[in-house]
Structure 1
Amino acid sequence: MTSTGGLSPATRERLERELEQLREQRDALAPRLGDDPLGDSADQADLLERAEVASRLDRRIAEITDLLAGGPMPDSESDLPSGTEVTLKFSDGSVEDMVIVGIAEEADDELSALTADSPLGRAIAGHKKGDTITYRTPAGEATAEILKLKPPA
């Protein structure tokens, strides 16, 4: 059974329309990004602004795609309960301590917040310390190694 992530049919339709519009905007912007302005600094500033717009569009497209894809609904022991602490080592060598929080919760000041239904949270679910996970980012797939996975007390 495919999860809809709790989206109503009207919300799903609205998100699908928004996604289509965003993709059209991104496609229209793409040919202009390759332009190499030989003009003044204003032309170069315009190119930088278009690149920032493209980046924002890419992030929103990825966000909506994830929402429409849905995710595993918390219904088993393998899902990540709120308060689970996780330490990840990313492919660039950086290490980050995080805590799983609910949508309305806030993380401890010392730990980064991570929701269980985010692409990274969904990738962690069902894994254990020592596993390497793959998750989706706006720039493509990324990997991380789970160094610590501690459920709440």
Structure 2
Amino acid sequence: MTTQATDQDKIWLTQDGYDKLKAELENLQGPVRQEIIERISAARDEGDLKENGGYHAAKEEQGKIEGRIRQLEDMLRRAEVGETPKDDGVVEQGMKVTVKFAGDDETETFLLANRELEDEDIEVYSAESPMGKALIGAKKGDKVSYEAPNGRSIEVEVVDAVPYTG
């Protein structure tokens, strides 16, 4: 039985983001999974499993990989692939957003998207986060406020918003 994802369950991804997650899944399901199976088999052939550190390490890694595979399958099942946003300065999912917090001269730049797309190149903030929700629809120069988890009201100014090109 297949269930349809509700709007709240959906994960918005650009086509590039979807392709990146799909490629990771295929790599984990193919070469990575096969390599772990071979390591487990080789360690098993060494004999006594109770004191075989290589076997236990490979089994632990296998568990982590299988967990990531299930997570990716779930995300791709719930994915709603959207177009890369227009370069119009309006904040929406898939945009690289630069903000300045009130009372601070420093800026912070991040991708407004699903947190699973985070990599070493850019931090990712969820559009479902308090700040993400407040920023959706704002334009360069707009100031928006949101309530932080600790109950404080925080104001940020949109310095820039451009489509994220990966």
Task: Give the TM-score taking structure 2 as reference length.
Answer: 0.41
Task: Give the TM-score taking structure 1 as reference length.
Answer: 0.45
Q: Which is higher, the Rg of structure 1 or of structure 2? A: 2
